Structure 1
Amino acid sequence: MSEFIEKLPKVELHMHIEGAMMPDLMLQLAEKNHIKLPYQTLEEVEAAYQFKDLTAFINLYLQGTEVIQSAEDFYVLTQSYLDRCAAQNIRHAEVFCDIRTYVERGLPPEMVLDGIEAGFAEARDRHGISGGMLGTFIRHLGVDKAAEDWHFYQQHAERLLGIGLAAIEVGYPASQFKAIFDQVHAAGLPVVAHAGEEGPATYIWSAIHDAGVSRIDHGIRALDDPKLVQFLQQTQIPLTVCPCSNVSLHVFEHMNQHVIKQMLDLGLNVTINSDDPAHFGAFLQENMVAVQRHCGITDDDLIRMTYNAIDASFADQPRKTELSDELDQYLEQVLAPVG
């Protein structure tokens, strides 16, 4: 592990909270809530986390959501992730979660916000970590479900950092949700959308024009469209790239094929993130190590992506200034001449 990476103050903008559930926590919550899993031992759960394809990943992810039954469970999960953030010197984190997964099981949507909010409150007190939740629409469940979810999110807008669009991308461009996102903007919440991961560059254009996004989650297919690259160079819309996730889900077969270095060299506003770190075996720090080892990413690139993440975050301006100052001070210490 690079000491520079280990001590670098970090910011994470693209992480699904259920994707931070480690195998031991899955077993713990399953036992607490009397949920029967297809695994009997920790070793069996750990083996399941070595999934071979997208279907196996989705099944594993859904099993993780099934063991969450209360605000307390969300609190424990969020606390677990933010403790990991503290160990990796992540100073600000923004996490995705939807309510639909739990509402469909007859659980109250308030438990999602209550549990995640409590976890962040404790992390602020214990570790000085800022951040919060991005309410999420599950795009493949359609516009009507998203409209129902927006009705709830709108009532709790002050508790959210923003609204995102996630899940199965192909077949569900942001244009289908334009009317809802118009309402989100009218309510004063920023919008982000997963686009250009499995879907083509046209889905990124749709996220920009139809959803009015402040950030694009993933965005790696932007390089397929020179006009889009030029637009992103000019506008500097942030891209929350998740390298280890892309390799685990076979968007790229090997990390040395990843385009993150090319994106940076083209002047795009790239940030680095973990997506579903427990499932992909790589939290933010491990993603940084992987791209430095296999993609030609330098320490200067990591510094640039961290400043990008601070600017792209939904922290208020005083907190952004604090984060920038903390990074400045670390770099002054690291780069100070010896002797």
Structure 2
Amino acid sequence: MSQFIERLPKVELHMHIEGSMEPEMLLQLADKNKITLPYADLDAVKAAYNFADLAAFVDLYIKGTEVVCDAEDFYTITMEYLKKCHQENILHTEIFCDIRTYVDRGYAPEMVIEGIDAGFKAAYQEFGITGGMMPCFIRHLGAEPAMQDLDMLLRFKDKILAIGLAAVEVGFPPSMFTDVFDRVRAEGIPVVAHAGEEGSPDYIWSAIRDIKVDRIDHGVRCLEDAQLVEYLKQKEIPLTVCPCSNVSLNVFERMEDHVLPQMLEAGLKVTVNSDDPAHFGAYLSENLTAVQNHCGVTDQQLLQMQQNAVDASFATPDRKAELHQRLAEI
């Protein structure tokens, strides 16, 4: 890691909390909650983290959700990630979670919301890190469960930064969820959506037109549609790009093939993020290092993307001003 990246104040806007669970934490929580995993020891778990395809990644991710059984567990994994943020000079972070996975297993939504919220409160006291959570609807489950999830989430409105749309993209366009996101926006809650990762630019257009997103998660396929690129540029719609994730999941074969430089050249409001850092072996600093080493991204462009991230965040105006000041001092 370069000295510039090390001292650069950072903001992260696209990270799934279970995706920050390292092998040691997976085993720790499994032992605590008496969950049997199909791994003989730590080495076997680490081997599983070197997955070869999307199916193996999904299986590993699900195993991670199975060992999380109460609010204390969510607090533990949230604090572990936020300690990593402190080490990496991440000053503000906004993380994804979902409640449907846990509610379907008979748990109360409070376990997710209160556990993560307690982690952020502790990290603010200890490290000064700000941020919060963005619950997501699981798109391949359909609109009806999403509406049910919203009914639950509105009880915790004061603890939510935004509501997102995540999971399997192709076949489940944002247009399926127009009614539920109309309600989200009527409640004054910002909207984000995974779009344009595996799905075509049409999925990005749908996120914009049908559910009126405040920012796009991923969005790397926008370059296939010149009109879309121009719209994203003119409206300054942020894109939370996850380079190492994209390579790990074969969106791009190599980091050298990533379109991030072209997105920057097109004037798009790009940010860099880690997505599922424990699973992909790359936290935010490693992602920044990768795009610098393999995509030719300059220090000035890294700085610009952090400025973009501050602008795109759901931090308070005062906090945004503080973060911009920190970036101006580097």
TM-score, normalising length: structure 1: 0.97
How far apart are residue 131 of structure 1 and its match?
Answer: 0.3
Q: For residue 136 of structure 1, give the secondary structure of its aligned residue in structure 2.
A: strand
Q: For residue 15 of structure 1, give the secondary structure of its aligned residue in structure 2.
A: coil
TM alignment of 1:1-339, pairs within 5 A:
1-329=1-329, 331=330
How far apart are residue 135 of structure 1 and its match?
Answer: 1.2
Q: Deviations over 1:143-171 (max 9, x none)?
A: 11101000011121111001000000001
CA distance in 1: counterparts of 2:321 and 2:169, whole angstroms: 35
CA distance in 2: counterparts of 1:49 and 1:292, whole angstroms: 25
CA distance in 2: counterparts of 1:202 and 1:154, whole angstroms: 30
Q: For residue 271 of structure 1, give the secondary structure of its aligned residue in structure 2.
A: strand
Q: Which amino acid is 2:133 matched to?
A: M
Q: Which amino acid is 1:40 matched to?
A: A
What stretches of structure 1 of length at least 5 have no aligned partner?
A: 332-339
Q: Which amino acid is 1:29 matched to?
A: L
TM-score, normalising length: structure 2: 0.99
CA distance in 1: counterparts of 2:4 and 2:143, whole angstroms: 45
How far apart are residue 326 of structure 1 and its match?
Answer: 1.2
Aligned residues: 330
How far apart are residue 216 of structure 1 and its match?
Answer: 0.1
Q: Which amino acid is 1:108 matched to?
A: A
Q: Which amino acid is 2:193 matched to?
A: A
Q: Which amino acid is 2:58 matched to?
A: I
CA distance in 2: counterparts of 1:200 and 1:154, whole angstroms: 31
Let me know the Cα RMSD of the aligned residues.
Answer: 0.5
Q: For residue 119 of structure 1, give the secondary structure of its aligned residue in structure 2.
A: helix
CA distance in 1: counterparts of 2:2 and 2:156, whole angstroms: 41
How far apart are residue 327 of structure 1 and its match?
Answer: 1.2
CA distance in 1: counterparts of 2:328 and 2:292, whole angstroms: 21
Aligned equivalent of 1:334: none
Q: Give the share of equivalent positions with the same residue, in percent.
A: 60
How far apart are residue 48 of structure 1 and its match?
Answer: 0.4
CA distance in 2: counterparts of 1:261 and 1:37, whole angstroms: 41
Aligned equivalent of 1:337: none
How far apart are residue 35 of structure 1 and its match?
Answer: 0.4
How far apart are residue 175 of structure 1 and its match?
Answer: 0.3
CA distance in 1: counterparts of 2:211 and 2:158, whole angstroms: 20
Q: Deviations over 1:235-279 (max 9, x none)?
A: 110000000000000000100000001000110000000000000
53-62 or 320-329, which deviates more = 320-329
Q: Deviations over 1:97-139 (max 9, x none)?
A: 0000000111111100010001101110111000000011000
What stretches of structure 2 of length at least 5 have no aligned partner?
A: none
Q: Which amino acid is 2:293 matched to?
A: R
Q: Which amino acid is 2:230 matched to?
A: Q
How far apart are residue 309 of structure 1 and its match?
Answer: 0.1
CA distance in 2: counterparts of 1:103 and 1:90, whole angstroms: 31
Q: Which amino acid is 1:113 matched to?
A: I
* Structure 1 runs, 4 residues or longer, greater than 4 Å off: none
CA distance in 2: counterparts of 1:41 and 1:321, whole angstroms: 47
How far apart are residue 40 of structure 1 and its match?
Answer: 1.9
Q: Deviations over 1:191-239 (max 9, x none)?
A: 0000000000000000000110000000001000011011111111000
Q: For residue 91 of structure 1, give the secondary structure of its aligned residue in structure 2.
A: strand
Q: Which amino acid is 1:72 matched to?
A: E
Q: Which amino acid is 1:271 matched to?
A: T
Q: For residue 301 of structure 1, give the secondary structure of its aligned residue in structure 2.
A: helix
CA distance in 1: counterparts of 2:148 and 2:178, whole angstroms: 15
How far apart are residue 328 of structure 1 and its match?
Answer: 1.1
CA distance in 2: counterparts of 1:64 and 1:24, whole angstroms: 11
